[in-house]
Every structure is written in C-alpha cells, then in structure tokens.
Structure 1
Amino acid sequence: MSAAAGPPPHTAGGAAPREARPGAFRRAASREAAWLRRHPRELAMISWVPLLAVLLLWWMFSAGIPTRLPIAVVDGDHSALSRQFARMLEAAPGLRVARRDASLAEARAGMERGDVYAVVAVERDFSRDIKRGASGHVTLYHNAQFYTVSGLVLRDVQTVAMTLSAGVEMAARNRRGEPAQSVAVSAEPVRASSLALFNPSLNYEQFLAAALVPALLHILGMTAGAWTVGREIRDRTVGAWLAAATGAQARPDGGVRVAAGPALAALAGKLAWPWAGLSAVGLAALLWLTWGRGWHPPGSLPWVAVALMSFIALSIAMGAAAALATRSLRTALSLAGIVTAPAFAFSGMGFPLAAMPAGARAWALALPYTHYIRLQVEQLQMAAPLRHSLPAFVLMPLGAALLALAGAWLLCRVAAEPARWGGR
C-alpha cells in the first residue's frame, strides 16, 4: 500500500521552511569547504600564504634593535685624538666603521652606492684646536631619506662626540688641579634625565612587527571577504549558494527569495573559513611575538587576542558588504585596497594623528585599524587600564555585527535580482 506523496519541501513563495534555517550556516560552510578543496590556491590565500607573509615580517624585524649600522670615517687630522674618536665610534653598539676613506668625495660616493649610511669627517687640526682650548670640528653627513637609520646614526655619533668632549674637558681640568667631583659638576651643571616609559629598548620587533601583522591581516581579511562573496556574483552562482544553504527554491530566472535570517546564516557560513584561517594566523603571530620571544606584555593579552579576532571579522565583513553593495568583484577589491592599504600610514604609528590636517585625521579615525592598533599599543606596551581600551574593544565586534546584518539585507536584494549578476 503506497502512501500519498507529501507536500514539496519548499513553499510557494520560494522561502526556506522554518526547519531548514538552523542548518543554513552548516550547509553554507560545507559548500564553501568543498569549494576550497577543489581550489587549493584560494585555500592557500587564507592559510599558509598569510602565515608565510607574517613569518617574513617577523624575520625582517627579528633583530629587534638595529645595531652595527655601517658608516665611513674620513680622518683629516691623523692624530691620536682623532684615532681615539674613530675607535669610540667603532665601539658604539649601533655603529660599525665600514670604510676609512682618504677624502670626503670617496666617502660620499660610497654613501651614494649604499655601502654606508653616513660619513663622519674629522677636520684638519682637530687635535690642535682642542689643545688650544678652541672647538674641534666633526661633521656628520647622513641621508635623512632613511629616516629611522639616520636618526639612530645621528644619536650614536652625538653620544660619542659628547663623551669624548667631556673626557677631554675633565682631563684638562684634572691637570690644572681641580678635584674630580667638582670637575664632573662644572662640566655638566644642568643634567637632564630622560626616562622612556614604553618600549625603553626601542625594540622594533615589539613596535613595528607587532603593528604591521594586524595591518597585513586587515588587507587580507577585507580582500578575502570581497573575493569570497564577489566570485558568487561574478560566476552567477548566488542562487545555487543560497538554495544549497537555505533550501530555498530557485525561480526559473535563477533568482532566489530568502528572508534575512537564513541569508545571514548563509553569509556567515561562507565567511567562517577565511575568518578561521586568518584568525589562527593572527593569534599564532600574537603569541609568538609576545610569549614566544620572551616578552610578557604588562597589559591584558587575552583582551588583545579577542579584539584581534573581532578586528579580522570586521575586515572580512567589510569586504563582503563592499561586494554585495557594488555587485562587482573588481570594484569590491578596489575598495578593499583603498581602505586597507593606507591604514597603517594613517594610524598614527608613523606620523602623529595630532599633527595631521583635519581631513586626514577624520579619515584616520574612520578607519578601524586606527582604533584597533591603539588598543593593542595600550595593552601590550602601555599597561593602560582596561577601561581606556573599552571603546575600541566594543567597536570591533559591534561593527562586525552591524556589517553582517547589512550584508544579509544586501544579499536578499542581490538574490532577488539575477539580471544584475555577472559583474566583473
């Protein structure tokens, strides 16, 4: 005895039945996982390629503190004092005397070729002028286009020159019979004390590498979100994606009508893989740059970890929303580059926010990376109270949630208009 056929699994309007909605996330994630298995290049872009890029960044700054920067010395005096000055330059931890040239022209040519970063020229009669009580002249030629290197070389050369000058002055006064204690006071009657509160060792691994890794993940995250959703629009497979995820029945023209809830679940399932891959890379980099390198930040590392995962989710949601709003993969990827590529430059890490023009500062404050990196610096280096970082901490997941909701609403509209699919 045969039973009568039951009603079809889809409603007349094409909407997914209620019992299909809880599984929309899982089915969308399964479909995306199958796609990634068939396309290993796309899997690489959210797995080992970001990891390799992060390792490259770490390797670049793994030395931490720049040392042994090559310089050239031109000794025009050839005296015992000028040779002592050259030895003190060589002994400075940040400097290395790579060349001893006979003329300034030879040394400058070496700097133009990139053999050295600076030239220290000791003028003729250097020692005689000092013995007569006059000033001995030492000239430093440096390339200020290499801003960081130039600043480090200038600091070390000035330190060596001041040390030599103080030593000469103290020796001369001692020979005149002045007590050593009074000589030290009279040689430096006003002494300034400089205390570095944060990053006192000027460790570029903790400062630059730790800041560039989330900037890189920001770029990759928004690009991944735009690509993951944009290729469905480009390939005209939005209907197949939503039909497989929500169980909605496709119309003859290929369009699908879905509610916002199932659309949100389908979108989240599709974006879950890039979020998981990039978050894993980001957390691994964060733990390696801190505990793995023997650095125990004074602030809350768990807060930074949660904020980083939320920031990556926000970046991916930004890319997906851009693809759905423009309905063009090419435009969405262009927007991703416009927003994320200059994020580090506008974050205040290189150029102070307070010194930017009003328009540039407004653009900087509109970028999510500016707020995330402030939270990271506050917690990893400044030991700021958690309440100071709370606004940025709340901004990340809230922004990701709002963009996901906006993306679900846009996805419903895109799904209902198949004639507008296929944009490159």
Structure 2
Amino acid sequence: MVSWVPLLAMALMCWIFSAGQPQRLPIAVWNEDGASPLSRQLVRMLEATPGFARDVQRGAGASVALLHNAQLATHSSLLQRDVRQVVGTLSAGVEMQALAKRGTPARALQLRVEPIRTQLVALFNVSTNYEQFLATTLVPALVHILAMTAGAWSVGRELRDRTLGQWLHGAGGAAAVLAALLGKLLAPLALLWASALACLLYLSQLRGWAVAGSLAWIALGLALLVAVSLAAGAALAGLTLSLRTAMSGAGLLSAPAFAFSGVGFPLLAMSGSARTWAEAMPYTHYARLQIEQWQMSAPPAQSLPVVAGLLLATLALLALATVGLLRGLRRPERWGAR
C-alpha cells in the first residue's frame, strides 16, 4: 500500500486525464426547418433549431434550443460554451449580411454588430486542459489519503496485534517513543513522497506542463503534506488506541479533502462552517502552494507560510501521537481492541 499500489493508482489517474479535454461529445439535432441553407449551415457548425430561416428572413429573429443534462457538469458546460460561440458567430454573420444588403459600408459593419467588445484574457491554464487542472491536483490528494491511512494502520496494527509493548520495548520516555514512531513512519514517507514526485515530474517534464515557479518548493511542500498526513494518522491511532477508529477517522478527514480544497469549488463561495473545515485541512494549503508555484509563478516567499504551517502541524501531530502511545503503554488492557 505504500510501494507499487500508489504508483499504479497515480498512473491510472494520469491516464484518465491524459486526453486533456473531453472530445467528440455526441449531440442529437432536431431540425424542423427542413433543408434550408441556414439550418444546414448551423447543423454543420454545431446545432439546429425549429423555424430558423423563415423567422430570420422575416426579421423576427429565432432561437436555438439546447437541451443538456446539467448533472453531467463538465459535458454540459463544454456544450453550452460551444453552442453559444457557434450561434453567436452565425447570428453575427446573418446580421452583417443583412446590413451589407442595405448598403452599410464594410468598415462600419463590425462596429454596428459589435459596438463593445469583451476581451477575455486567461491568466492560468490558458488551454483549459483538465490534465493540468485535475491530474496535477488529484495526485497529491490521493497521496494524502494513502499517507493518512498508512499512518493510522502502522500504529494501529501494533495495538490490534497486541505488539505495542514489543515494538516500544525499552522506550523509557517521550524521546524514545518519538524516535520509534519516526522510524516506523520514515519508510512510508520516503516511498509515498517519491511516488507522488515521480508522477508530478512525469506531468511537468514529459507531458509538457512546465512549472512556472519553483519545482523545489512543490517537492518540499509535497514532502510536508505526506509527513503531516502520516503524523495525523498516527495521532488518530495513538489517541484512540483503536485501529478501526483510527482508520475511520483517516477516511473521514482525508477522503473529502479535495472537495473542500478550493480547487474545484472556490473557498470564497463556501459557507462559514465549510470554509472553516477547509482551512483546517492540510491539503487545502498544499493545493494553494502547488497552484501558486506551478501556474502562477509566485515568489517562494508567497508559499513560505504554507511550508511553515505544514511543518508546525507535523510536529504538533507527532507530539500528540507520542502522548497517545505513552498512554497506551500504560494501558495494556486496551491492546487488541479493534
């Protein structure tokens, strides 16, 4: 669960979003305008609509009805965008032809049809590619889940199997318990961090999504995300002295982390309680660091508070896990609990 399975899961994640954007989405055309040139042109461009050419020629205008399934949010938004663009282009062309027939000078046509222009400038992810948007952020989210689960399992298994005393044999104080805990968590830390970093390097170097800022800061933030996740899982097991409770808590905290991170749904639009929950999750802050460094080319100082916060949270959670294990050593009757 900390070696080849994460690599396989991340490879699957990258493969899922490798297309970048959904392509060739099927649409059905209901054309009640017969075989008029205008409706055929609209069909060729994208869509059709009832009574189109007749109403346009009379000057009454017409409408294009797009029936879309809003539950499929991505498909729906893409279809709406393309239909608006195509119908707008066709409508402007019809208007310009009508004005030209009335003798409007060619230079004035563009100004008459579009007196005020909107200039849309995309600052980041200009190609609106889902591989850059989702794959690069879902990989760390997946590692966050795996790391918190690994931390809970590593410590909780010693409790379940009644081997806590054997593992911490000779640990006479907090420093010795902390050293034993760090030794246990070091291997999953190295493996999960290396797996996630390899995946991000694949996306940035081989898939062409170049990092605009500092890849080193992303790697450091990723290491701290794995560390704080492992420490959180270990703290859950140490404080509850139950593998089952620790695993449940790890799933409760880590699984919805991406949904509350602000990547898919903006933090500013969340309710107060939802935003409080989001800000308490370490992945929310790491996601901000990665987006700042990967896409925004933010200076490292901009991400320094996130790095410091993740480090402090890791130390605090390790301290809680150590306290819980010391308490567990004094309560052997709790060993073996599920």
The question of a shared fold, defined as TM-score above 0.5 by the shorter chain, is answered with yes
Residue 83 (structure 1) aligned to one of 35, 40, 50 = 40
Q: Give the drift of 1:69.
A: 1.4
Residue 395 (structure 1) aligned to one of 305, 309, 317 = 309
Correspondence for 1:405? 319
Correspondence for 1:92? none
CA distance in structure 1 between the partners assigned to 2:93 and 2:322 by the alignment: 72
Matched, 1:165 2:97: no
- The answer for unaligned runs of 5 or more in structure 2 is none
TM-score normalised over the length of structure 1: 0.77
Correspondence for 1:284? 198
Correspondence for 2:30? 74
CA distance in structure 2 between the partners assigned to 1:193 and 1:373 by the alignment: 29
Q: Give the drift of 1:376.
A: 0.8
Pairwise mapping of residues 64-143 of structure 1 onto structure 2 (< 5 A)?
A: 64-78=20-34, 79-89=36-46, 120-124=47-51, 126-143=52-69
Contact 2:237 2:321 in 1 (8 A): no
Deviations 1:153-184 (A, max 9, x none): 00100100011111111122222222222111
Contact 2:39 2:48 in 1 (8 A): no
Deviations 1:325-380 (A, max 9, x none): 00000000000011011111111112221121111111111111111101111111
Correspondence for 1:196? 122
Deviations 1:95-145 (A, max 9, x none): xxxxxxxxxxxxxxxxxxxxxxxxx55102x11211122202211000111
Correspondence for 2:241? 327
Contact 1:65 1:201 in 2 (8 A): no
Say which one has the larger Rg: 1
Pairwise mapping of residues 10-49 of structure 1 onto structure 2 (< 5 A)?
A: 45-49=1-5
Q: Which amino acid aligns with 2:17?
A: F
Deviations 1:288-315 (A, max 9, x none): 1111211212111110111001100110
Structure holding more strand per residue: 1
Contact 1:226 1:333 in 2 (8 A): yes
Percent of pairs identical after alignment?
Answer: 56
Matched, 1:186 2:186: no
Matched, 1:237 2:184: no
Q: Which amino acid aligns with 1:264?
A: L
Q: Give the drift of 1:65.
A: 2.2
Contact 2:267 2:275 in 1 (8 A): yes
Correspondence for 1:262? 176
Correspondence for 1:224? 150
Q: Give the drift of 1:67.
A: 2.3
Contact 2:164 2:329 in 1 (8 A): yes
Contact 1:222 1:317 in 2 (8 A): yes
Residue 80 (structure 2) aligned to one of 132, 154, 158 = 154
Deviations 1:20-42 (A, max 9, x none): xxxxxxxxxxxxxxxxxxxxxxx
CA distance in structure 1 between the partners assigned to 2:321 and 2:144 by the alignment: 18
CA distance in structure 2 between the partners assigned to 1:174 and 1:205 by the alignment: 45
Contact 1:324 1:414 in 2 (8 A): yes
CA distance in structure 1 between the partners assigned to 2:43 and 2:331 by the alignment: 75
Correspondence for 2:102? 176
Correspondence for 1:36? none
Correspondence for 1:11? none
Contact 1:223 1:336 in 2 (8 A): yes
Correspondence for 2:218? 304
Correspondence for 2:262? 348
Contact 2:148 2:233 in 1 (8 A): yes
CA distance in structure 2 between the partners assigned to 1:399 and 1:363 by the alignment: 15
Contact 1:321 1:406 in 2 (8 A): yes
- The answer for unaligned runs of 5 or more in structure 1 is 1-44, 90-119, 249-256
TM-score normalised over the length of structure 2: 0.97
Q: Give the drift of 1:211.
A: 1.0
When the two chains are superposed, the root-mean-square deviation of aligned CA atoms in Å is 1.2
CA distance in structure 1 between the partners assigned to 2:188 and 2:75 by the alignment: 37
Contact 1:314 1:399 in 2 (8 A): yes
CA distance in structure 1 between the partners assigned to 2:31 and 2:172 by the alignment: 80
Contact 1:198 1:381 in 2 (8 A): yes
Residue 314 (structure 1) aligned to one of 208, 225, 228 = 228
CA distance in structure 1 between the partners assigned to 2:307 and 2:29 by the alignment: 51
CA distance in structure 2 between the partners assigned to 1:408 and 1:328 by the alignment: 15
CA distance in structure 1 between the partners assigned to 2:195 and 2:175 by the alignment: 30
CA distance in structure 2 between the partners assigned to 1:220 and 1:265 by the alignment: 22
